[in-house]
Amino acid sequence: MDQYRVFGNPIKQSRSPYIHQTFAKSTDQQLSYQSELVEISAFSEIIGQFSQAGGKGANITVPFKEQALLLCDQLSERARLAGAVNTLSFVEDKILGDNTDGLGLVQDLLRHNIVLNNSRILLLGAGGAAKGVILPLLEQQPKLIVIANRTISKAEDLCTHFSLNEKCEKLSACGYEEIKHQEFDLIINATSASLSGSVPPISKNLVKVKTVCYDMVYGKELTPFLSWSKGLGAEQLIDGLGMLVGQAAESFAIWRGIKPEVETVIDNLRIALTKE
Ligand code: NDP
């Protein structure tokens, strides 16, 4: 049976085995997908062993996404621009790397009928997650993307990174204090602030009834950012659970050539979350 893994540290919390096993059942694919904890210093060795043993593919999660990129013989443009890989495919004696996080986000937004074409997007955060979603968002032809971050230089570095790749004409960077009166259709929280119970300090004026508010973090309750946005009247609040399942569906499609249906998996995970 074809073998797949998700490698990370920590890994116990990973929902990927459940997601991929469910995809396999729903698409009649015979495969095994397990999670594996990797010691920080052992990543490349473990990947080598898995590939030698006939492993077909792997998902890579925190903190190995950048290291994974260095192991690849071939990279998708998405992975190259993201500077990180979350999907490895072992094909003959080559390692192919891709990054499906951004596709997962875009698919989730489209699934919620959010119009990205010609939209004005505010992206909060300039870490790995923000970097990974910029190209897939740009491919949807938004009007503009403003990247705002606590450490302004990191947002500026992201802009420079994409401008070096000739994709920056719609991108700009700033700090949270600088954006007070601009209009946005969509605000994406790509910071980890929700994990520590906080909200990036953006102006309340930015959140209107029709502003779509998206948090890449998800949980049993509304995240702090979504709860804050709801308090300001925003009607459409979306957390990152659909992005998680969406990125997995894209990895599955890369490996198996078939795109699984995501709705049921998202619904089941949502039910499981409420019971935690
Ligand atoms: P990084 O550590 O690379 O970046 C963290 C980002 O959050 C930085 O921009 C940092 O700002 C900012 N930040 C952290 N704390 C605060 C705070 N209290 N106030 C304002 N900004 C803050 O993390 P990632 O980019 O990899 O991940 C970001 C989040 O996205 C994580 O919570 C992760 O769980 C989630 N994620 C969800 C996915 C999904 O499928 N749903 C996929 C990938 C990520 P600064 O630069 O100033 O330090």
What is the per-residue pLDDT for 163? 79
Pocket test for ligand 1, best of 191, 195, 244 (most atoms within 8 A of CB): 191
| Residue with CA at minimum distance from ligand 1 atom 46 | 151
Q: Which atom of ligand 1 is nearest to the CA of 154?
A: 46
**Tell me, what's the pLDDT at 102?**
97
**What are the structure tokens assigned to 102, written together?**
């951004």
Q: Is the pLDDT of residue 52 over 70?
A: yes
Q: Residues 6 or more apart from 13 whose CB is under 8 A from it? A: none
Considering 65, 143, 167, 204, which one is annotated as catalytic?
65
From first CA to last CA, the distance across the chain in angstroms is 32
Q: Mean pLDDT, to the nearest integer, of 201-205?
A: 96
- pLDDT of 181 > 90? The answer is no
For atom 1 of ligand 1, the residue with the nearest CA is 127
Closest-CA residue, ligand 1 atom 44, reads 129
CA of 25 to the centre of ligand 1 (A): 33
> Which atom of ligand 1 approaches the CA of 151 most closely?
47
pLDDT of residue 261: 97
> Do the Cβ atoms of 218 and 241 come closer than 8 Å?
yes
191 CA from centroid of ligand 1 (Å): 3
pLDDT at 184: 98
For the stretch 153-178, pLDDT in tens is 999 999 998 877 666 779 999 999 99
List the single range of 136-140, 167-171, 226-230, 243-247 with lowest mean pLDDT. Answer: 167-171
| Pick from 101, 104, 100: nearest CA to 112 | 104
Closest atom of ligand 1 to 247 CA is: 40
Q: Which tens digit of pLDDT belongs to each residue from 56-110?
A: 999 999 999 999 999 999 999 999 999 999 999 999 999 999 999 999 999 999 9
* pLDDT on residue 275: 87
For ligand 1, atom 16: residue with the closest CA: 193
Q: What residues does ligand 1 touch, defined as CB less than 6 Å away? A: 101, 104, 125-130, 149-151, 154, 190-193, 195-196, 198, 200, 216-217, 240, 243-244, 247
- pLDDT value, residue 166: 62
What is the reported pLDDT for 165?
Answer: 66
| Ligand 1 nearest-atom number relative to CA 150 | 47
Specify whether 170 is catalytic: no
Ligand 1 center to residue 26 CA distance, Å? 32
For residues 145 and 214, what is the distance between their CA atoms, to the nearest angstrom? 14
Query: Which of the two residues, 46 and 166, has the higher pLDDT score?
Result: 46
pLDDT score at 110: 97
CB 19 within 8 A of CB 248: yes
Name the amino acid, one letter, at 10.
Answer: P
| Nearest of 95, 24, 22 to residue 58 by alpha carbon | 95
Would you say 223 and 191 are in contact if contact means Cβ atoms under 8 Å apart? no
Q: State which of 192, 198, 202 you would mutate to test the pocket of ligand 1, scoring each by most atoms of that ligand within 8 A of its C-beta.
A: 192
pTM: 0.95
Whose structure tokens read 């986000």?
A: 105
Distance 165 CA to ligand 1 centre (A): 23
Q: Ligand 1: distance of its center to the CA of 127 in Å?
A: 6
Question: What distance in angstroms lies between residue 135's CA and the mean position of ligand 1's atoms?
Answer: 18
